Amino acid sequence: INLNVSATGGNASSPLTYGLMFEDINHSGDGGIYAELIQNRAFQGSLEYPSTLTPWVSVGDAVLTLQNTSVPLSKSLPTSINVASNSTNGTIGLLNPGWWGIDVKPQKYTGSFWALGSYKGKFTVKLQSDLTEEVFASLDLPSSATPGKWVEHKFELEPRIAAPNINNTFVLEFDSRAGSLNFNLISLFPPTYNNRPNGNRPDLMEALKDLSGSFFRIPGGNNIEGDAYHYPWLWNETIGPLTERPGRPGTWGYENTDGLGLVEYLNWCTDLSVTPILAVWDGMYLGDEADHILTASELEPWVQYALDELEFILGPSNSTHGALRTQLGHPEPWELKYVEIGNEDDLYDKGPETYSAYRFPMFYEAISAAYPDLIIISSTGDYTAVGGTNTSNPSATDYHIYTRPDYFVSQFGHFDNASREHKSLIGEYACVQGNVYNQVVGVDWDALRLPWTPWVGSVSEAIFSLGAERNSDTIIGMSYAPGFQNLNSYEWAPDLIAFTADPSQTIKSTSHHVIELLSNNRYNATVPVTTDSDFGPAYWVAGVSEPGHYTFKTAIYNSTSSVPFSISFEGLSEGVKGTLSVLSAPDGLSSNTLENGVVSDVVRKTVTTLAAGSGGVFEFELDNYDVAVLTT
């Protein structure tokens, strides 16, 4: 393949070309990146998922029951656990196995619990092996428990040695002579990323940081919408002290604690230097065909609700919600440039119709009047459904694609003829199924999903991404979804990063490697490439950061032989050096997996220094399913 790359003449690239998307799915938040180690710490429940004792276990002869005491810990956390004993001799308590295990290391664990009752003795908190009961850390602390009043107890545990595995539990014990005590909000955090209180797991944050993303789409996905029980994600119930966060039934089959809330998301953006793309709920519930879309008048308070959220994020400290932000320790507004109205509003019979008739316009008009600089993104993926009345504010849409390798590759040119007036966010994309003979269109949601992304799927995503990069003047950016999968409990596979409670078992998918390579090799503008070859089996894009500094990206799909490249870059002459980074895998079906507790990483990266030959031509060969970047 002979390619001539021009020095100028393309389009400016979006500074946000690669980004991250997050929603609590697959226990990616609770039990995932949110570092809280105690599962069901506050017995939160709802109509959909009533409060439960799971996974708490009694210690000694303790009897555990859920109680709504006459004095609740808070209005938001009315249910507590009562720990009672009939005997007056011995130790009783309760034990929590964490989110399918607890990683115990010689590091500081910060804990707290609230107690109610009459007890003047001591509490003992421990981290111990579930299998052998070996105690790794133990601490006695005096009880301040008082009848009729909830009292918080704080402690730190510091194991001297690491546990050999994650089969560990947290134990809270006391003297059975106390008779009966109530506990709530029993919490234990390991060190967190950037040492944020109520923060995130460092290893999973590092796995995100590797991707050098530029934006962060939050808080959904479907998890913003709520399903048949009509519980959308409520920003104001996810802020402030944990005692004031009631939680909600998430869309993905479990109660969300909302410990990971709006402020935590925005801090996360600060920690990873990414810009938020904030979704607001727009009146569409999932899963209840009868009445899942609000009427215009029902929607009005929700428009105000979204404006209040924006004021919380952007407003001055003397505004009502800016003052609330200040009160919570954030006097300065956060940076926010993008707001998305809903999620996948092309779903359901009346989704698109009501979206363009009144739902999108109501939000668009109110938000753009109050915040004219915000870029408002529609969620239909359809240019015709964006707009509103204020045409001076550029509109954008969020296009999602979950598909098969062949179809991804066929979509390399998807944005070639897109409107340049409206921009696209590719807020979710992933190869979720293998190819099926004779079927290249889309995805069959009734067919089995891939458990892990195979390399061929990641290559096809790379090709789709290169096609988007070629059209970066119309693309805001792209984010793979879903981001995380707790291997002990998940609803959706494959995912970008899979994990267990054991940080040594974090699996970066083959797609993670591809995004890491493509995202870490950005450029300022695309540049034209002339050639006598068609796209396929090689697909490419070229860009320039500054004169002489080119980036050429390519991926090979379905080639029966190796593919030779001869590339000249305008202005570069013989002897100029380039760096060729190539990702490959043993074959297209290889995946990164966890088997028998062992992480396999099939992706190989080779980095070679090349020198331009006569006429400034770089020559190299790539194999089928290689993904490569050449930089000069």
Q: Which amino acid is located at 578 in the chain?
A: G
Q: Which two tokens stand for residue 23?
A: 């929603």
| Residue 445 CB, nearest approach to ligand AHR (Å) | 10
Q: In the complex, what is the shortest distance from the CB of residue 300 to ligand AHR, in angstroms, rounded to a whole number?
A: 25
The footprint of ligand AHR on this chain (CB under 6 A) covers a number of residues equal to: 12
- Strand 135-142 to 63-67 pairing: unpaired
d(CA 428, CA 425): 9
* Contact letters for ligand AHR, residues 298-327 (x by CB under 6 A): ------------------------------
Closest among 202, 186, 144 to 57, alpha carbons compared: 186
Tell me how far apart the alpha carbons of residues 172 and 62 are, in angstroms, rounded to a whole number: 12
By CB atoms closer than 10 A (0-12, 13-18, 19+), residue 494 is buried
Closer residue to ligand AHR in complex, CB, 343/465: 343
**Span interacting with ligand AHR, options 219-227, 455-463, 506-514, 569-577, rule CB under 6 A:** 219-227
Nearer to ligand AHR, 44 or 479 (CB): 479
165-204 footprint of ligand AHR as x/- string (CB under 6 A): ----------------------------------------
Element (H, E) at 109: strand 109-116
Q: Which is nearer to ligand AHR, 345 or 626 (CB)?
A: 345
Near ligand AHR by CB under 6 A, which window of 217-225, 297-305, 327-335, 443-451? Answer: 217-225
The first and second tokens of residue 422, run together, are 């409206």
Tokens at 325, concatenated: 């932000």
Instruction: Show contacts with ligand AHR in window 363-402 (CB under 6 A).
Output: 400
* HEC sequence for 144-199: CCECCECEEEEEEECCCCCCCCCCEEEEEEEEHHHCEEEEEEEEEECCCHHHCCCC
Piece of the chain touching ligand AHR by CB under 6 A; list 137-145, 215-223, 403-411, 552-560: 215-223
Q: Give 3 or 478: the residue with its C-beta nearer to ligand AHR.
A: 478
Read off the amino acid at residue 271. D
Q: Which backbone phi and psi does 60 adopt, to 5 degrees?
A: 65, -145
Q: 31 or 322: whose CB is closer to ligand AHR?
A: 31
Closest distance to ligand AHR from the beta carbon of 343 (Å): 5
Q: Single out the segment in contact with ligand AHR by CB under 6 A; choices: 216-224, 305-313, 358-366, 512-520.
A: 216-224
Integer CA distances (angstroms), 397 to 320, 324, 402, in order: 31, 31, 17
CB nearest ligand AHR: which residue? 221
Neighbours of 337 (CB within 10 A): 15
**492 touches ligand AHR by CB under 6 A:** yes
* Residue 343 contacts residue 368 (beta carbons within 8 Å): no
- With CB under 6 A as the contact rule, the residue among 116, 294, 443, 481 that binds ligand AHR is 481
Is the omega angle on the peptide bond into residue 564 within 30 degrees of 0, that is, cis?
no
* Residue 101 · residue 131 · CB < 8 Å: no
Minimum CB separation of residue 598 from ligand AHR in Å reads 27
Q: Which H/E stretch holds residue 353?
A: helix 351-354
Q: How far is the CB of 460 from ligand AHR (least distance, A)?
A: 18
Q: CB nearer to ligand AHR: give 168 or 343.
A: 343
282 forms part of the interface with ligand AHR (CB under 6 A): no
Stretch of residues binding ligand AHR (CB under 6 A), selected from 176-184, 220-228, 358-366, 543-551:
220-228
Out of 264, 428, 461, 516, name the contact with ligand AHR by CB under 6 A.
Answer: 428
End-to-end CA distance of the chain: 19
Residue closer to ligand AHR, measured from CB, 34 or 492: 492
CA separation for the pair 448, 304 (Å, rounded): 42
CB of 227 to ligand AHR, least distance (A): 11
Nearest Cα to Cα of residue 94 among 184, 193, 34 = 184
CB-based contact 510:592 (threshold 8 Å): yes
Tokens matching residue 275 = 């810009």
The H or E element that residue 361 is part of is helix 360-370
Min dist CB 284 to ligand AHR, Å, is: 12
Of the candidates 176, 172, 173, 174, the residue with the CA atom closest to the CA atom of residue 89: 176
Q: Which is nearer to ligand AHR, 25 or 310 (CB)?
A: 25
**Minimum Å distance from CB 564 to ligand AHR?**
39
The secondary structure element, H or E, covering residue 467 is: helix 455-470
Q: Does 344 bind ligand AHR (CB under 6 A)?
A: yes
Q: Using CB under 6 A, which residues numbered 398 to 427 contact ligand AHR?
A: 400
Q: Is 45 helix (H, G, I), strand (E, B) or coil?
A: coil
Which segment (209-217, 218-226, 300-308, 435-443) binds ligand AHR by CB under 6 A? 218-226
Does 222 bind ligand AHR (CB under 6 A)? Our answer is yes
CB of 490 to ligand AHR, least distance (A): 11
C-alpha 416/C-alpha 571 separation (Å) is: 27
* Binding window for ligand AHR (CB under 6 A); candidates: 168-176, 214-222, 240-248, 311-319: 214-222
> Which listed residue (221, 246, 261, 543) binds ligand AHR by CB under 6 A?
221
CB of residue 223 to ligand AHR, shortest distance in Å: 6
Residue 251 C-alpha from the chain's centroid: 15
Task: Report angle CA 468, 474, 476 to the nearest 5 degrees.
Answer: 80
If one asks whether residue 482 binds ligand AHR (CB under 6 A), the answer comes out as yes
Give me the least distance between CB of 428 and ligand AHR, in Å please: 5
Q: Which residues bind ligand AHR (CB under 6 A)?
A: 23, 25, 220-222, 343-344, 400, 428, 481-482, 492
